[in-house]
Amino acid sequence: MRKIVVILVILIAAVAGIRKRTINIGIFLNDDEQYETSTIAIASAVRTINLYSKVEYLLRPHIFRTHKEDILKTGLLACSLLEKGIAAIFGPDSPEINSIIQSVSSSLEIPQFQTFWNPKLAFLASRQSPSEKPIQIFNLHPSPKSLSKALATLVRENDWKSYTILYENDNGLLRLEETLKQLNPNDPVVAFKTLGLPENHRSVLKEVKSSGVLHFILDCEVDHIMDILRLAKELKLLSEFHSYILTNLDAHTLDWSEFKNIRCNITAMRLIDPNSAHVKNAALAWNQNMRYNILDNLKNMAIQNELNYQRSRKQLDDIKPTDIRTKTALLYDSLNLFISVFSEMEKKGRVALEPLSCELNKTSAHGQLFSETLLKTNDTLLLEPLTGVITEFDQIGYRQIYKLQIIELEESQFRVTGSWNPLVPDKLNLTLTLEDRDTELRKKIQKRNFRVVSRLGDPYLMAIEETGGKLLYGNARFEGYAVDLMTEICKPENLNCSFTFDLVPDGMYGNFDPVTKQWNGIIKELLEYRADLGICDLTITYERRKAVDFTNPFMTLGINILYAKAVKEPPDLLTFSHPLSFEVWIYIATSYLIISLIMFLVARLNPNDWENPHPCNPYPVELENIWTFRNCCWLTMGSFMTQGCDLLPKGISTRLVAAMWWFFALIMTACYTANMTAFLTSSRMGSTIESAEDLAAQTKIKYGCVAGGATSSFFKDTNFSTYHRMWVQMESADPNVFEKSNKDGVKRVITSKRKYAFIMESSNIEYEMERNCDLMQVGNNLDSKGYGIAVPINAPYRKQINEAILKMQEMGILHTLKDRWWKQKHGGGQCTKDKLSDDAAATEMGLDNVGGVFVVLAVGVLLALLIAICEFLWNVRKVAVVQKLTPTEALIQELKFAVDIWARKKAVNKGISTSAISMENIDEQM
């Protein structure tokens, strides 16, 4: 039943078509893979138009298959076609052949519709004066200038600072004209690489890879895109860090299934929306035309024969909306535009179509009218256009209104992320917001396992020893600050990802060799994309930052000096005597004896020191002198000890001697006190090196750092005179002062007996000081820097890691991790008690420092007891003689009295006469 209805519709249309006149048009198609699809599109458009009831004529297309080498043959075909009185010419797509067709059309004023990128159209318009008639060339493809602006806007929105342009021919540079114009003088230089012949593509891509550029603009024919990207994949130029912009508007029509798992960002633009309803309907209609002979136009034998020829060659596949290329869609729209404008002309009067000749200088009668009508019309087209609004053209012939979709490859299909409108050329209308991209990226991060490369170094990464024959694998082999840091980053509340640690093969941080032009260590692993992250005590430097990216610092530090503490000698028992030299003590003792003797002699000579023994007797028989040698020694001793004496001189000479001794004692006591303070202070002082300036100003203490590290680069590249002088001294030092690692430098500081200082990061110094109490940090930091996580340039996950680090910093997690590995794990915190004792030592003195004073006191007291015993025994002897007792009896008698602590008075020995006592007193005074 359905076939009968279709047959009736066709028969009615055929009968109605008898009354319609025929309009001849010429169509030139390239002999390529799209020839069949273009023919089917023409058949569908012509049939639909011919069946349209409001159209009073029938289109009769004359299709020619052309080759770009057949320029002369195509010109002859065009001239022969003019004799049939054609109304318009469509195509060709080849720029080489188009030149002659464009020349014929412009000369004879026959409308020509172009469907390819044609920069020569503007050149043709520039040769015509404004007074000449409107041109007859209409290009439905985006103009070179507008397409270039679209690419420039896309590059700017992607924030590309450095990129490489890969192009097949010079037309590629014209398409990127506006992109190049927006470059500033301070921007990195944009590299241009011509792809050349297919056999040269590999060498070109290898050269591009060595340059380290990650962003590319690829301008080539659509059929060459896959071959170039396959080579790029082999050369590892399709990683997640690379980005590509494809300038060809048909990139979405390719089969991208083989690139399903690539992480590279591939962006393109397209003029056709294959998801739109009218494109899907057009593809459906084309498939029907291709399958059913009954739907072929009975009045168009050219299309009938072409379709029969194609069916005889092979079984045609269904045309999908994504298979429709730009030139096919533009050809379909150009037919639609032509017949719509021609119908508008027919409403005002019948249009005359006359045969023309290339040899005669005669122009068409309808060309100028057609151009004027097309430039003024804004009416809706008869058919739904596949590429948007096409009713407006500029005076050159370029299409003015259209919309380009910005598409990105996801899995094996393209998705729309924005659009570009030539009416607002400096802005992209994004359909995918930054929040949407962040959400997608977080989902991708949750599915991935980060490859983390590091190096062994306490406490950042330490190897766990295998015990009990149990083998360790993966992350179980390591522990340390870096492992805990990644564990925190990959927690569910942060990135919710996983990670695997591996060691860098050469054990280096990452330095650039100016001779080989190569990086080593962690930086090399990231540059060659064998790792996703690099975590250790890796300093963020300018040189490294040019090669890789870094996250926000997870630890802030600076360069400092590690030095050994002064070895404290055991305190001397006679420490109190050190403020004065041994000679001074001898001189003081000698002076004491001499002054005592002088006082004794002067007192004997001075009459004022001879006193009345009985003050109540005004006329004494004799005078006495109290200044025995014993009393003189007592006076000088009390004065020197600043304790005074109950005996004081009365004569001028004796008082002068005493005053001079007091003055001497005052000065010596003050000097001793002051010198004792200074001595105790100096005994607590550590190193005499307090800053880098002190190190640079001396040559006795050698100093160095890790060879080839960030610290050595700091001194090597600095402009500060002091640090540059230190670098010169380090380079010229003999023996070598550079070490392979921080651990070797610390060991050298400990064993060098304060003859070597090691310059390293303050965080590592803090770690070593927590475990070795003989080490100390000298002065303040020489600079300020940070440890960051290294990632390849353009790494998409860098932002998320930055957010996680910032969150951990605000929550105090980074501080907790540092305390754990610096002060708690593996012997940390051992020197905390020593630090407290050192602080207390600033105000306290131990027993070792003042023990000698107690010894002197004890010796003096023992000596006094010994003398007292001798005096007691001497008195016992005298008592035994006087009282005629045996020595034992006298000893017992005197001893009993001595131990009777309650006895306050003692009887005088009666056996001793007063005269004897007087004589004894005189002898004692003498």
**Does residue 914 register a pLDDT over 50?**
no
Q: Does 832 belong to an annotated binding site?
A: no
Is this model's pTM higher than 0.75 or not?
Answer: no
**Does residue 89 register a pLDDT over 90?**
yes
**Does residue 839 register a pLDDT over 60?**
no
pLDDT score, position 568:
64
Residue 645 CB: number of other CB atoms within 10 A?
Answer: 15
**Does residue 213 register a pLDDT over 70?**
yes
When comparing pLDDT for 276 and 10, which is higher?
276
pLDDT score, position 291:
64
pLDDT score, position 917:
42
- Alpha-carbon distance of 412 to 417, in angstroms, equals 15
Answer whether 260's CB lies under 8 Å from 412's CB.
Answer: yes
Answer whether 192's CB lies under 8 Å from 165's CB.
Answer: yes
Answer whether 609's CB lies under 8 Å from 651's CB.
Answer: yes
pLDDT score, position 726:
92
The listed range with the strongest mean pLDDT (126-135, 558-567, 832-841) is 558-567
**Does residue 834 register a pLDDT over 90?**
no
pLDDT score, position 887:
83
Residue-wise pLDDT for 662-690, tens only, equals 888 888 888 888 887 777 666 555 456 78
Residue-wise pLDDT for 680-728, tens only, equals 666 555 456 788 888 888 888 999 998 877 888 889 888 888 899 999 9
- Alpha-carbon distance of 155 to 176, in angstroms, equals 10
Query: What mean pLDDT is predicted for residues 833-848?
Result: 53
**Nearest 10 degrees: Cα torsion 727, 732, 734, 737:** 20
In the numeric block, the tokens 């992480």 are attached to 263
pLDDT score, position 504:
94
- Alpha-carbon distance of 611 to 518, in angstroms, equals 106
Token code pair at residue 559: 């360069």
Query: What mean pLDDT is predicted for residues 453-475?
Result: 85
**Nearest 10 degrees: Cα torsion 148, 149, 151, 155:** 140
- Alpha-carbon distance of 204 to 145, in angstroms, equals 28
**Nearest 10 degrees: Cα torsion 800, 801, 802, 808:** 110
When comparing pLDDT for 221 and 909, which is higher?
221
pLDDT score, position 902:
72
- Alpha-carbon distance of 373 to 351, in angstroms, equals 12
Stretch among 126-130, 524-528, 622-626 having the lowest mean pLDDT: 126-130
pLDDT score, position 421:
92
- Alpha-carbon distance of 110 to 140, in angstroms, equals 16
CB half-sphere exposure, 736, CA atoms < 13 A: 7
Mean pLDDT computed over every residue of the chain: 81
The listed range with the strongest mean pLDDT (7-11, 572-576, 822-826, 844-848) is 822-826
The percent of residues in the chain predicted with pLDDT above 70, rounded, is 83
Residue-wise pLDDT for 387-402, tens only, equals 988 878 888 888 888 9
pLDDT score, position 113:
93
When comparing pLDDT for 135 and 43, which is higher?
43
Query: What mean pLDDT is predicted for residues 299-326?
Result: 68
- Four-residue CA torsion sign, 537, 539, 540, 543: negative
pLDDT score, position 298:
38
Give the gyration radius of the chain's Cα atoms.
54
CB half-sphere exposure, 735, CA atoms < 13 A: 5
Residue-wise pLDDT for 109-119, tens only, equals 899 999 988 88
Helix, strand, coil percentages for the chain (3-state, nearest 5): 50, 15, 35
**Does residue 12 register a pLDDT over 70?**
no
**Does residue 352 register a pLDDT over 70?**
yes
**Does residue 772 register a pLDDT over 80?**
yes
Answer whether 110's CB lies under 8 Å from 88's CB.
Answer: yes
**CA distances in angstroms from 688 to 561, 571, 754, listed in the order given:** 13, 21, 11
**CA distances in angstroms from 616 to 469, 620, 724, 857, listed in the order given:** 109, 9, 92, 43
- Alpha-carbon distance of 105 to 363, in angstroms, equals 9
| Phi, psi (deg, nearest 5) at residue 64 | -125, 130
Residue 192's SS3 state is strand
pLDDT score, position 680:
67
- Alpha-carbon distance of 668 to 295, in angstroms, equals 132
Query: What mean pLDDT is predicted for residues 833-855?
Result: 54
Q: Does 544 belong to an annotated binding site?
A: yes
**Does residue 488 register a pLDDT over 90?**
yes
Residue 905's SS3 state is coil
Residue-wise pLDDT for 22-77, tens only, equals 888 999 988 887 888 888 888 888 888 887 766 777 888 888 888 878 888 888 88
Going from the N-terminus, what domains does the chain have, and what CATH number goes with each?
Answer: 2-142+276-376 (3.40.50.2300), 145-270+404-432 (3.40.50.2300), 575-684 (1.10.287.70), 853-925 (no CATH)
**Does residue 331 register a pLDDT over 70?**
yes
pLDDT score, position 554:
94
In the numeric block, the tokens 């439905």 are attached to 140
Residue 859 CB: number of other CB atoms within 10 A?
Answer: 10
Angle among Cα 160, 539, 561 to the nearest 5 degrees reads 150
**Does residue 130 register a pLDDT over 70?**
no
- Buried b / exposed e over 361-396, threshold 16 CB at 10 Å, is eebbebbebbbebbbebeeebbbebbbeebbebeeb
Answer whether 326's CB lies under 8 Å from 254's CB.
Answer: no
Answer whether 524's CB lies under 8 Å from 502's CB.
Answer: no
Token code pair at residue 620: 């004494």
Q: Prior bond to 198 cis, omega within 30? A: no
Q: Does 132 belong to an annotated binding site?
A: no
Is 638 buried (19+), middle (13-18) or exposed (0-12) by CB count in 10 A? middle
Residue 503's SS3 state is strand
Residue-wise pLDDT for 892-904, tens only, equals 887 887 777 676 6
Is 557 buried (19+), middle (13-18) or exposed (0-12) by CB count in 10 A? buried
Query: What mean pLDDT is predicted for residues 2-31?
Result: 62
Q: Does 798 belong to an annotated binding site?
A: no
In the numeric block, the tokens 């009993």 are attached to 896
Question: Which of 369, 335, 337, 339 shows the shortest CA–CA distance to 352?
Answer: 369
Confidence bin at 860 (pLDDT 50/70/90) = low
pLDDT score, position 533:
95
Token code pair at residue 206: 């290898």
Query: What mean pLDDT is predicted for residues 414-434?
Result: 89
